């Protein structure tokens, strides 16, 4: 696999569905430095795998609670990204934005909370795809992205905006 054309997206099945939730308040975005698992060391939004019997919205809320000790208020679905890795791993990530939260962000075993201004997001410390779709999301666009990665390196991508 070297490009998106090498993948039969009509029959593609992710290894697992997942969520990603961005808390945005007062022109600031709450990100995390991931401490373990896939993407450890990178900066991202809180998120993770869908548990059996759980809805995507329940997953989005639970992952923020587990990783940051806060509860996002009224998360809104804003888009989805499909990730295929050359080693066979794949994710279907459903993305949410919450404009408020309850509690106080705190470091956990999984993540360190980091606030950034919307104009100073550290894309150089994030997954390569983030600089493609996050600015569109912040501009209010809905999206669907397809990405092919070899480890941390993005080989190909396609982004549809709505």
Residue 117, pLDDT score: 98
Is 158 exposed, middle or buried (CB count within 10 Å of its CB: 0-12, 13-18, 19+)?
middle
Residue 122, pLDDT score: 98
CATH superfamily of 4-161: Nucleoside Triphosphate Pyrophosphohydrolase (3.90.79.10)
Residue 1, pLDDT score: 84
Residue 51, pLDDT score: 98
Backbone angles phi, psi at 107, to 5 degrees: -65, 140
Q: Chunk the chain into consecutive blocks of 10 residues (it has 162) and report each block's average pLDDT, rounded to whole numbers.
A: 94 97 98 95 97 98 98 98 97 98 98 98 98 98 98 97 97
Q: Where are the domains of the chain?
A: 4-161
Residue 88, pLDDT score: 96
How many other CB atoms sit within 10 Å of the CB of residue 88? 8
Cross-strand bridge partners of residue 160: 144
């Amino acid at each position: 696999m070297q490009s998106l054309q090498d993948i039969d997206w009509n029959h593609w099945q992710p290894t697992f569905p997942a969520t990603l939730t961005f808390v945005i308040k007062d022109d600031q975005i709450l990100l995390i430095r991931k401490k373990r698992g896939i993407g450890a060391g990178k900066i991202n939004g809180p998120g993770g795998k869908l548990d059996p019997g759980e809805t995507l919205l329940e997953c989005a809320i639970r992952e923020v609670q587990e990783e940051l000790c806060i509860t996002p208020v009224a998360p809104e679905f804003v888009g989805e990204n499909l990730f295929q890795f050359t080693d066979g791993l794949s994710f279907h990530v459903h993305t949410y934005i919450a404009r408020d939260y309850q509690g106080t962000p705190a470091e956990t075993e999984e993540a360190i909370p980091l606030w950034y201004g919307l104009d100073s997001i550290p894309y150089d410390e994030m997954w390569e795809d983030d600089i493609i779709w996050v600015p569109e999301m912040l501009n209010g666009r809905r999206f669907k992205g397809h990405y092919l990665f070899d480890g941390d390196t993005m080989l190909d991508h396609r982004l549809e905006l709505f």
